[in-house]
A and B are shown apart, each in its own frame.
Chain A
Amino acid sequence: MGAEFVALSLPPLLIGILAAVTCALPGNFLLLRRQALIGDAISHVVLPGIVIAFLLTGTIATLPMLLGAAGAALLAVVLIEGVRRTARIEAGAAMGVVFTSLFAAGVLLLEQSDTSGVHLDVEHALYGNLESLIWLDATGWASLVDPVALAGLPSELPRMALALLIVCLALWLMWRPLAIATFDEGFAATLGLPVRAIGLGLVMLAALAAVAAFDAVGSIIVIAMFICPPASARMMTDRLGAQVGWSVAFAILSAVLGYVAAGYGPLWLGFENSVSAAGMIATVSGLILGVTMLAGPRRHPAGLARKG
């Protein structure tokens, strides 16, 4: 493994790992709050957001895309809360209504607008373009300490790293209030904790993770990583801190195994072409969940099934 690996495989692999971990971290708390679907919702509503941003600016430059996605995520969160309160239905149903409607609206918008000249389509939204995030300036491992070459890294890498940093910092700061409010919201409120702001903060954190990861890896990975690594981790331990640790390990494992399997697996099996790395990473995370559900030491998944 040398120059070719550093230029072609290292950046997408790192971005995949960063995206997986960034989504898995808030996913732990979403799962325990039975809000795991919110990741699904956010990653879908990102589509109309970026289409509208494209229609307004006429480019697919990063900043307007991210702003459009963030705006759509915010709108979705507000709509979900609004539907839940006015229609008095459960959160899952409210999310389902809002994100399918907005995603459908995004597909219609995309069809009606002239995006033929740019790389903007539903497939891109679903699968991302992980394999195309290559590092042309790299000539080998030495490039990792070469400032000139480093400047040519795909911009998704530092952006994803920044998103992960923000998520880690926020979770570290909110850890105890978030844990208390997640377990027992009423009790948390009597302690004077701002439980609604905490809940909203968590959703905003999830939106940040989804929007940052979406552009690089597509919504398939985002949806899978919000749910699968935390749910697998819940099978391994009965302690919150350990669960979050396991979820990070499973997210990294999914990203590495998935990327390698997508790139080389089909060749090993005698097929000619590689398959989508995003799809394979999500599939691997699902397989890991399956294994932990069958063999994990704590097989009573929060948010998936309940005993007694």
Chain B
Amino acid sequence: MVAIKDVNPVQAAPRNEGVQAPPPALSVAGLTVAYGEKPAVFSVDMTVAQGTMTAIVGPNGAGKSTLLKAVLGLVKPLSGEVRLFGLALSRARDRIAYVPQRASVDWDFPARVIDVVLMGLHRELGLLRRVRPEHLDRARACLARVGMQDFATRQIGQLSGGQQQRVFLARALVQQADLYLLDEPFAGVDAATEKAIIGVLKELQAEGRSIVAVHHDLSTVRAYFDHLFLINTRAIAAGPVADVFTGENLQRAYGGRLGEAQLAGGTLTG
């Protein structure tokens, strides 16, 4: 493993935040997560400024999803600290929304599209408050935003993969979060869905919200994101895409697994 100091040092989480400077949407310090004995994420520092759109990129098994899950408290880290808008996770839940991998759930579950979107309102509704017309209106508006307004009463198992992914995004939209964390939102979706999703994400960013997405397609990194976080168990490089998306950094992240052809195809030369 190459030391990460030489090129594009990974930003450390700020120790002292000024009163006027907004805290980063996400700051991770010294995060280590292990399944069994082998660490999946080792000693990672990461900072995501508010209003940015960051891709987490790395080879298979590099700990991308694990990093996201540790940030969300879904896996327990061995060590390290996670802050969201300067707050502990438990106090920042109303400001974050999570879009899991589509394949992580059983789509045969007996629910309609609108039922799934309404799940995003649980923190507002609590245990016993009933879903009222205004909640339904909000859920429908979020479906419309991802182009799924005509599918509200469809059973979720009848949707295509891309449509299911859009439903998941609509469920996150209804949460009206400030930070959106997405795990492979473009995996296995059709071109129309990919276009719809990136359109919505750019809208969110224009509204001042922050986006962090685990991403696997090198050819779209430049077009979709403005910040890049390269990881292979350890943080490899982080910063604006223009600075970080270099052949040298990718070679270090992917090692021998990334062929010259892929590097060339990844718009590196363009």
Contacts and interface: CB of A to CB of B under 8 A. Distances in A.
Contact of B90 (A184, A186, A192): A192
B109 A176 contact: no
Contacts of B74: 186, 189-190
17 contacts: A173-B127, A173-B128, A176-B125, A177-B122, A179-B119, A186-B69, A187-B171, A190-B72, A190-B93, A192-B90, A192-B93, A234-B110, A237-B110, A239-B111, A239-B112, A300-B108, A302-B110
B239 to A, nearest CB: 27
B32 to A, nearest CB: 20
A32 interface: yes
B18 to A, nearest CB: 30
Contacts of A83: none
The prevalent SS among residues of B at the interface is mixed
Interface string B150-191: 000001010000000000000100000000000000000000
A192 B69 CA distance: 14
Interface residues of A, number: 27
Nearest to B116: A183
A190 B100 CA distance: 10
A180 to B, nearest CB: 5
Contacts of B211: none
Contacts, number: 78
Interface residues of B, number: 29
Interface in A262-308: 300, 302, 306-307
Given A176-B122, A180-B119, A192-B93, A187 B110 contact: no
A32 B72 contact: no
Contacts of A182: 109
A192 B104 CA distance: 19
Contacts of B171: 187
Contacts of B116: 183
A101 to B, nearest CB: 26
Contacts of B157: 238, 300, 307
Interface in B94-113: 96-98, 100, 104-106, 108-112
Contacts of A184: 100, 104-105, 119
A176 B127 contact: yes
Contacts of A219: none
B96 A239 contact: no
Residue with the highest number of chain B CB atoms closer than 10 Å, among A32, A187, A237:
A187
A240 interface: yes
A191 interface: yes
A183 B119 CA distance: 10
B36 to A, nearest CB: 9
Contacts of A307: 108, 157
B9 interface: no
Contacts of B105: 183-184
Interface in A96-111: none
Contact of A183 (B97, B98, B109): B109
A277 to B, nearest CB: 31
Contact of A189 (B72, B109, B111): B72
Given A186-B74, A300-B157, A191 B110 contact: no
Nearest to A242: B110
